[in-house]
């Protein structure tokens, strides 16, 4: 059964000051990767930060697996090499950074020389410049004869993952080297949130709750979707929302009224709100890189019509059923089927167009371990019904932490019952 949060617990979450992920935790994550790669004869792994072309909101965006292992947000092209077979323990985990370029660096940032201070600050025993990476990877391949892909593979129409592309070049030059699939390793690690990560996610959700409160205050007939979206996002920024990409939101806010509430990924947010409309808001703050993802549906006039209320209550019933199904050893399919059963019983299943949710964390659609749910997983649960001919789109979404005893609704402080919305 879903665990309900009391008002006092919600207030405590909203006022808590989450600490950033510590250097020690990043070190522990990397040590865990090395330990897992060391099974058997040991496999060489490589995690790449991505190149300078990955830009959002004017900021370079690191590969999230690299960010998860390092916390580094300002080093395009960087790499972490895991070499379990190296005789020098300090070189079994190495960080590689671009060379210093004083003329280029003065445009963007101050970059440190490699020193004891830099190694201590970043938590690496060995830091080198990227020019040494080819020699280090090749030597590791000759010792281990096994290269482990850690980055997720793309579909056949997408570019080959960066580590697989690099390993194929090594394989052409070092005889007898095999490449193995270990892409599950980091996905499974990222999916189980540590206490420090959960504190950051709670803070992101608490900020999002403040944003929804501000948005409700400006919802009115004759208003605008843009005014509502601005109220949300300004509140996020005012409460310290931020992330590696420089943005306050974890994704583009959806504020769709009337027929636009039926568009799943609407983000024009530039139309008026009229009496009789439903307004669907799907938005989430980002705090220290961690995402919230919340959806609520409100009557613009402050009161649901009879049809709108009936449909809303069905969606809420479905969401409660799916939340109850979200527990250890369940699968996302079980969570989905709980909502589908409610919709089928009510005769509206054809109006449910999408899945039930996804994992949440450093990304809105976070690394999916493709396993049963486990304590420490955070998922969204977001059933919805859409009737374009009636201009009715209703979705209700909460962020759910799987616990040893069931689950906890992290976003329960954001009102969603009809009576609470009316108040």
**Based on the domain organization, do 249 and 112 belong to the same domain?**
no
**Based on the domain organization, do 120 and 244 belong to the same domain?**
no
In a domain, 365, yes or no: yes
The percentage of residues in the chain with a pLDDT greater than 90, rounded to a whole number, is 86
Which CATH number does the domain housing residue 320 bear?
A: 3.90.230.10
In a domain, 1, yes or no: no
In a domain, 202, yes or no: yes
Domain boundary among 136, 164, 189: 189
Domain boundary among 189, 224, 252: 189
**Based on the domain organization, do 383 and 341 belong to the same domain?**
yes
**Based on the domain organization, do 125 and 258 belong to the same domain?**
no
Number of domains in the chain: 2
Q: 218-248: per-residue pLDDT in tens?
A: 999 999 999 999 999 999 999 999 877 667 9
Residue 423: per-residue pLDDT: 80
Counted residue by residue, the chain has a size of: 423
**Based on the domain organization, do 206 and 281 belong to the same domain?**
yes
What's the mean per-residue pLDDT of the chain?
A: 93
**Based on the domain organization, do 351 and 305 belong to the same domain?**
yes
Q: 131-181: per-residue pLDDT in tens?
A: 999 999 999 999 999 999 999 998 999 999 999 999 999 999 999 999 999
Structure-token match 């931020």, residue found: 242
User: 17 pLDDT band (50/70/90 cuts)?
Assistant: low
Domain boundary among 131, 164, 189: 189
**Based on the domain organization, do 148 and 284 belong to the same domain?**
no
Which CATH number does the domain housing residue 181 bear?
A: 3.40.350.10
Domain residues for the domain of 336 are 192-422
**Based on the domain organization, do 302 and 383 belong to the same domain?**
yes
In a domain, 225, yes or no: yes
**Based on the domain organization, do 397 and 323 belong to the same domain?**
yes
Q: 23-55: per-residue pLDDT in tens?
A: 999 999 999 999 999 986 789 999 999 987 677
Please say whether the beta carbons of 63 and 72 come within 8 A.
Answer: no
Q: 82-107: per-residue pLDDT in tens?
A: 999 999 999 999 999 999 988 887 77
Q: 209-218: per-residue pLDDT in tens?
A: 999 999 999 9
In a domain, 316, yes or no: yes
Those residues whose C-beta lies under 8 Å from the C-beta of residue 97, and which sit 6 or more positions away, are 75, 77, 78, 114, 127, 128, 129, 130
Please state, in angstroms and rounded to a whole number, the distance separating the CA atoms of residues 130 and 98: 5
**Based on the domain organization, do 74 and 33 belong to the same domain?**
yes
**Based on the domain organization, do 91 and 54 belong to the same domain?**
yes
The percentage of residues in the chain with a pLDDT greater than 70, rounded to a whole number, is 94
In a domain, 3, yes or no: no
Token pair recorded at residue 82: 């895991």
In a domain, 7, yes or no: no
Per-residue H/E/C for the chain: CEECCCHHHHHHHHHCCCCCCCHHHHHHHHHHHHHHHCCCCCCEEEEECCCCCCEECCEECCCHHHHHHHCCCCCCCCEEEECCCCCCHHHCEEEEECCCCHHHHHHHCCCCCCCHHHHHHHCCCEEEEHHHHHHHHHHHHHHHCEEEECCCCCCCCCCCCHHHHHHHHHHHHCCCCEEEECCHHHHHHHHCCCHHHHHHHHHHHHHHHHHHHHHHHHCCCCEEHHHHHHHHHHHHHHCCCCCCCCCCECCCCEEEEHHHHHCCCCCCCCCEECCCCEEEEEECEEECCEECCEEEEEECCCCCCHHHHHHHHHHHHHHHHHHHHCCCCCCHHHHHHHHHHHHHHHCCHHHCCCCCCCECCCCCCCCCCCCCCCCCCEEEECCEEEEHHHCEEEECEEEEEEECCEEEECCCCCCCCHHHHHC
In a domain, 65, yes or no: yes
**Based on the domain organization, do 208 and 170 belong to the same domain?**
no
């Amino acid at each position: 059964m879903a665990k309900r949060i009391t008002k006092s617990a919600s207030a405590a979450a909203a006022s808590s000051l989450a600490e950033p992920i510590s250097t020690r935790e990043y070190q522990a994550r990397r040590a865990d990767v090395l330990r897992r790669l060391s099974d058997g004869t040991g496999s060489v792994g490589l995690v790449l930060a991505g190149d300078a072309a990955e830009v959002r909101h004017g900021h370079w965006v690191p590969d999230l697996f690299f960010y998860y292992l390092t916390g580094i947000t300002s080093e395009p092209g960087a790499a972490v090499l895991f070499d379990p077979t190296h005789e020098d323990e300090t070189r079994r985990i190495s960080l590689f950074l671009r060379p210093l370029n004083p003329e280029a660096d003065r445009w963007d940032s101050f970059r440190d020389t490699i020193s004891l201070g830099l190694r201590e600050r970043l938590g690496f025993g060995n830091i080198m410049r990227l020019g040494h990476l080819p020699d280090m990877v090749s030597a590791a391949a000759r010792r281990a004869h096994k290269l482990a892909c850690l980055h997720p593979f793309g579909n056949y129409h997408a570019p080959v993952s960066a580590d697989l592309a690099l390993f194929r070049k090594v394989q052409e030059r070092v005889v007898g080297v095999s490449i193995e699939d270990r892409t599950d390793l980091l996905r499974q690690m990222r999916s189980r949130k540590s206490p420090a990560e959960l504190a950051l996610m709670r803070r992101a959700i608490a900020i999002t709750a403040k944003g929804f409160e501000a948005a409700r205050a400006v919802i009115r007939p004759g208003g605008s979707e843009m005014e509502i979206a601005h109220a949300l996002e300004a509140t996020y920024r005012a409460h310290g929302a931020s992330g590696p990409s420089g943005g306050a939101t974890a994704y583009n806010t959806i504020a769709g009224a009337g027929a636009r509430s039926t568009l799943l990924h609407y983000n024009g947010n530039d139309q008026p709100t009229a009496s009789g409309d439903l307004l669907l808001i799907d938005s989430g703050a980002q705090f220290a890189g961690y995402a919230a993802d919340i959806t609520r549906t409100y009557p613009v006039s402050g009161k649901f019509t009879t049809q709108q209320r009936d449909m809303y209550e069905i969606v809420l019933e479905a969401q409660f059923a799916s939340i109850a199904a979200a527990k250890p050893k369940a699968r996302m399919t079980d969570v989905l089927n709980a909502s589908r059963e409610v919709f089928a019983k009510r005769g509206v299943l054809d109006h449910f167009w999408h899945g039930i949710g996804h994992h949440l964390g450093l990304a809105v659609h976070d690394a999916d371990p493709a396993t049963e749910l486990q304590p420490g997983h955070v998922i969204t649960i977001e059933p919805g019904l859409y009737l374009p001919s009636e201009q009715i789109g209703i979705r209700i979404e909460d962020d759910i932490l799987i616990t040893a005893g069931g689950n906890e609704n992290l976003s329960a402080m954001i009102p969603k019952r009809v009576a609470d919305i009316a108040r």
